[in-house]
Chain A
Amino acid sequence: MSTAVGAPATPIDAPRGVRFPHVNYLNANYGIKSWLLTLDHKRIALLYLASVTFFFFLGGVYAIAIRLELMTPAGDLVESQTYNKLFTHHGVLMVFFFLIPSIPAILGNFLIPLMIGAKDLAFPRLNLLSWYIYMAGGIITLWALLSGGVDTGWTFYTPFSTTFSNGYVVAAGLGIFVNGFSSILTGLNFIVTIHTMRAPGMTWFRLPLFIWAHYATSIIFILGTPVIAITILLVALERLARIGIFDPALGGDPVLFQHLFWFYSHPAVYIMLLPSMGIVSEVIATFSRKNIFGYTFVAFSSIAIAVFGFLVWGHHMFTSSQSIYAGMVFSFISYAVAIPSAVKVFNWTATLYKGSISYDTPMLYALAFIGLFLIGGMTGLFLAALGLDVHVHDTYFVVAHFHYIMVGGALMGYLGGMHYWWPKITGRMYPEGWARFAALVIFVGFNLTFFPQFLLGYMGMPRRYHAYPVDAPVWQVLHVMSTSGASIMGVGMLIPMVYFIWSMRYGKFATANPWPATGLEWRTASPPPTENFGTTPVVTWEAYEFRPMEETEVIGPGDTPAQPIDGMQPTDGKNP
């Protein structure tokens, strides 16, 4: 009889600062070498956590600087050139060094072997190498940003980036190029691991949806990232060797760059989003103690998003002088890719039906994710509507839209996931009250920051503007709202940083399965031992089987009212 499911969520009250009673991956050995040369996926995940957090913090500082500048219509805080560097650096750091690696490289790395019952990823050395590559890319980019800066925007549009910009374009490009290999190796590692290292009985349709989401993400990593690498190479060739690829003065085509860039960068949005959706599925199941409604639909919608995501890049280019017929095709497929996302939202909502819902912090983030992703996704429909996009393209409407997806979606999922698995990662509980408070602050701050930007955008405020007209007072009102929201959100982000660090030493000890949840990762100690499981687990239960599937209720005629039964009917009789 294990404690897997049904154990009450009562953390063990341990004296503060006491070391863990059992040997685990954190205290198995000590010393800087044991970390920098580790092949343990869990330690590598923590290396990523530290470095990704650093880049997130830096990107956040740039965001605050941008928002402060925009409080007044005149460009009075920094010079235009500086402002252009601010938003470029913000974008480059957040996209390439925070959003893309965050969930896969931290939580994916930590959890994929645990969730499928494996000892490690398929290629532990490759896994460590990918962190070193990430760091190399990060340091090169950081050097480029700090020594000279880049003013091209994170999109690097030609011929501005190849011919006209004086920034350190090639150096920043090199950093992103190098960093891409880290993504490719991570994706490769995940795919091989998921295919070959599942524990006995862990069939494809017993996999947690987090795994499905990461499988889909890995497909994009492997197929998409090489394209951005090639594109950066071409930009460098034109900039350094004056080979005409994008610059019409050299016989090139500037719009070709946009096609290549968005061929990667649109799917990259799903790299940020899909893992987050995976987290939401896990969290919703655990905190409503229900199996995910329409499991197979949610699983395959991830794959559908990954596949269709490659066919919609042209919707970034409706005003670019692209053919109007091409625009029609891209618009059509963009609506097709919206459907799997909608299916996920409906299924998550239906999962709550007749659940046992608790309001722990991870659940708050998951519910916030659904609401904010809904708005982000619906405004995506505005942008995919050809005739409407012409007006709102390259305005703050787009800025608001993709921040609802990337911050409201990806970041909320990431924070939810960090809270959900924190007890597993560190063996300690975070302070629940503070965490709920921070979630509320972040949610309010986020909406106050980005909702006014939808209005600004429809009123015609173009993006990447250092200054805006003085004779449009409403614009300033909205910008001030946005800036105050950003400040609130900034403070909100600091709170988890503080209490997470605090909890590593002073938090209560976590049980193996504090929530409780059904996944394999909760059937080993918190924190897990280096080899993850004492013996290889054998899986005989379905995903999210909180109660035996024989008791399943079918919605429709003849529906019997739900009778939540006191006292658990644990399924862990089947547990090894």
Chain B
Amino acid sequence: MQYFPSWVPFAPEQASTLAGEVDALYLYLVTITLFFSVLITGLIIFFALKYRRRTPNEVPRPVAGSITLETLWTVIPLLIAMTIFAWGASLYFKMYRVPTQAMDIFVVGKQWMWKFQHGGGQREINELHVPVGSRVKLTMTTEDVIHSFYVPAFRIKADVVPGRYTTTWFEATKPGRYYLFCAEYCGTNHSGMGGYVVVMERNDYQAWLGGGATDSPASQGQKLFSDLNCATCHRNDTQDRGPMLAGLFGKTVQLDNGQTVIADETYIRESIVNPRAKTVAGFQQIMPTYQGQVSEEQLLALISYIRSLGTTNDSGAGGGATTGRDGGQQTTTGINPDAQRSNPTGPTTPGGTRAPVSTAPDSTGEQPDGANQPRSGRQQQQRSRGRQ
């Protein structure tokens, strides 16, 4: 939706679906500002000249206040302000309500670099390649201080906060290289914590992806799951000492204090690094913390793996479940794993080559390749190992 071409003076390029809308609101505000600035400065200059002091001793008559005028210049600015508020708020909702059908990219900030991982496992630092015309959802966290992911050409910005996942999204409209900045001051080399978002035609993107295919996050998570002996307690077939994880993602979990929580990324992360925060009803508080033992990237891999064990779609009726804290910016959705398969590459990829994204094995158990098949065997081993 390009309301305005890029002739907006002193504006960065418009390279996302939201950029034009932000610029339109900006121009609306510039117009209002110009109007009032010209009005007030014009009046001041006019009065200052017209009523300048002509003799040193003149004293003008007092002028009484006017309720009519006071009411007018209270109500009219208030009405104008409300239009700005409504416009701004609706745009804000578009920015932070992540669409359910979007390709997933994990972002981990650290002093002073950006680390990205694609659904197919490709990793990048300080440069993010994305296809044009696809919705991209970023799930972000940081290893240290607060950073802020900012791409001026997309008009998006979201703080990256330690200890929680924040999300934002964009849909690039024009191939090109666009600045990526860290917008939240983060220490010595803050101004060096940036790079580029490279928007590519879909074909180029497929070619690029093909170059660096590795394990998907989910299969990396599976490997971690076994290395950390998680299956000792979290068996896949039946409830054990720990809750069963298959089908957990997106489900409503009953806690022992009577509350419920949606099993989204934030909840699963918290359950790994701070298991005592919430205890699932019917289980003992025996899980040790894994804080310090798993990095943020490994946590994301583990979450991908748990998601690949199956999601519950019943909670996704309203566009997805929300996390406890607010359901706003941190909205995460019980995304149908098919989302990744159908979007963005499948139908448009020529020659039937399936992109690594689409073959990403972080999908449900039906998928014959990838995560599922070897799992049972490996878990058997782990369990026996864990119980030695």
Contact = CB atoms under 8 A, between A and B. Distances in A.
A374 B188 contact: no
Interface string A369-399: 0110011001101101111111101110000
B162 interface: yes
Interface string B158-193: 110111101000000000000101111111111110
Contact of B183 (A346, A353, A395): A395
A41 interface: no
B3 interface: no
A288 interface: yes
Interface stretch (A112-120, A130-138, A250-258, A423-431): A250-258
A388 B84 CA distance: 10
Nearest to B78: A339
A153 interface: yes
A382 B299 CA distance: 38
A568 B59 CA distance: 6
B190 A84 contact: yes
A384 B88 CA distance: 8
Contacts of B25: 385, 387-388
A391 B191 contact: no
Nearest to B39: A349
A289 B163 contact: no
B185 A153 contact: yes
Nearest to B45: A367
A574 B151 CA distance: 66
B103 to A, nearest CB: 21
A549 B22 contact: no
B328 A80 contact: no
B186 A374 contact: no
B274 interface: yes
B47 A254 contact: no
B329 A323 contact: yes
Interface string A305-328: 000000000000011111111111
Contacts of B162: 159, 247-249, 254
Contacts of A536: none
A562 B61 contact: yes
Contact of A565 (B12, B59, B184, B189): B59
Contact of B60 (A289, A374, A390): A289
B19 to A, nearest CB: 9
A168 B58 CA distance: 59
Contacts of A289: 53, 58-60
A558 interface: no
A549 B61 CA distance: 8
Given A157-B184, A324-B96, A345-B40, A552 B63 contact: yes
A378 B37 contact: yes
B188 A382 contact: no
B258 interface: no
Contacts of A367: 44, 48
B12 A460 contact: yes
B183 A386 contact: no
A335 B85 contact: yes
A386 B91 CA distance: 7
Interface in A240-265: 247-249, 251, 253-255
Given A84-B190, A387-B92, A332 B59 contact: no
Interface stretch (B66-74, B131-139, B216-224): B66-74
Nearest to B158: A319
Given A345-B40, A354-B63, A465 B152 contact: no
B146 A159 contact: yes
Contacts of A497: none
Contacts of A328: 89, 92
A126 interface: no
Contacts of A545: 62
Contact of B188 (A80, A157, A371): A80
A33 B61 CA distance: 49
Given A367-B44, A378-B36, A386-B89, A294 B70 contact: yes
B55 interface: yes
B163 A254 contact: yes
Contacts of B69: 294, 346, 350, 555
B43 interface: yes
Q: Which interface residue of B66, B93, B144, B188 has the most chain A CB atoms within 10 A?
A: B188
Interface string A156-190: 01011001110000000000000000000000000
B77 to A, nearest CB: 5
Given A386-B92, A568-B59, A249 B291 contact: yes
B286 interface: no
A462 interface: yes
B32 A381 contact: yes
Nearest to B94: A387
Interface string A536-575: 0000000001110101111110000011111111000000
A75 B191 contact: yes
A387 B87 contact: yes
Contact of A339 (B21, B74, B91, B329): B74
B10 interface: yes
B328 A323 contact: yes
B325 interface: yes
B33 interface: yes
Contacts of B85: 331-332, 335, 384-385
Contacts of B205: none
B91 A553 contact: no
Contacts of A556: 66, 68
Given A248-B164, A294-B65, A381-B29, A254 B146 contact: yes
B90 A387 contact: yes
A565 to B, nearest CB: 7
B87 A8 contact: no
B290 interface: no
A356 interface: yes
Given A151-B188, A339-B77, A387-B95, A458 B11 contact: yes
Interface stretch (A101-109, A269-277, A466-474): A466-474
B294 to A, nearest CB: 13
23 contacts: A80-B189, A153-B185, A157-B185, A159-B145, A164-B144, A249-B162, A255-B161, A322-B328, A325-B326, A367-B44, A374-B41, A384-B85, A385-B84, A387-B22, A391-B155, A391-B156, A460-B12, A462-B183, A462-B191, A464-B185, A466-B191, A474-B10, A555-B69
